[in-house]
Amino acid sequence: MDFEIGAYDAELFYSGKLEACLELRVSQYRTYPTDHGTKYRFAEALLQTERCEDALQYLLRFHTDDPRDEDFNQQILDCLRCLGKKKSDFLVIPELRY
């Protein structure tokens, strides 16, 4: 994310324009789908706009790629709290590869 977009993102987020912030972060996620910070900010925007189920679905993908990532793990816990679930409700069954 370049400086100008980052500044605009922060302005939207901290001024409470969360829907506009989500739109920007969706655009950034589509442009930079493998960037860790972009993925984190995208999930953060989903959480802030109370799209907790959507956030959990995306975070499941990120968690599958890197289950030890503490940033995404914390967001998963935030989603579970938002949905009234417990940590034990989040079960990831690893793929078996032969």
CATH of the domain at 69: 1.25.40.10
In this predicted structure, which of 7-16, 25-34, 59-68 has the lowest mean pLDDT? 59-68
Flag whether 47 is in a domain. yes
Flag whether 94 is in a domain. no
Q: What percent of the chain shows pLDDT beyond 90? A: 73
Flag whether 57 is in a domain. yes
Q: How many CB atoms lie within 10 A of CB 53?
A: 11
Flag whether 72 is in a domain. yes
Q: Is 56 exposed, middle or buried (0-12, 13-18, 19+ CB in 10 A)?
A: buried
pTM recorded for the entire structure: 0.84
Structural domain total, the chain: 1
What is the reported pLDDT for 2? 74
Flag whether 98 is in a domain. no
Task: Supply angle C-alpha 87, 46, 54, rounded to 5.
Answer: 65
Question: Cα-Cα-Cα-Cα dihedral of 24, 48, 52, 69, to 10°?
Answer: 80
Flag whether 97 is in a domain. no
Question: Which residue range is the domain that position 85 belongs to?
Answer: 3-89
Distance of CA 11 to the CA centre of its chain: 19
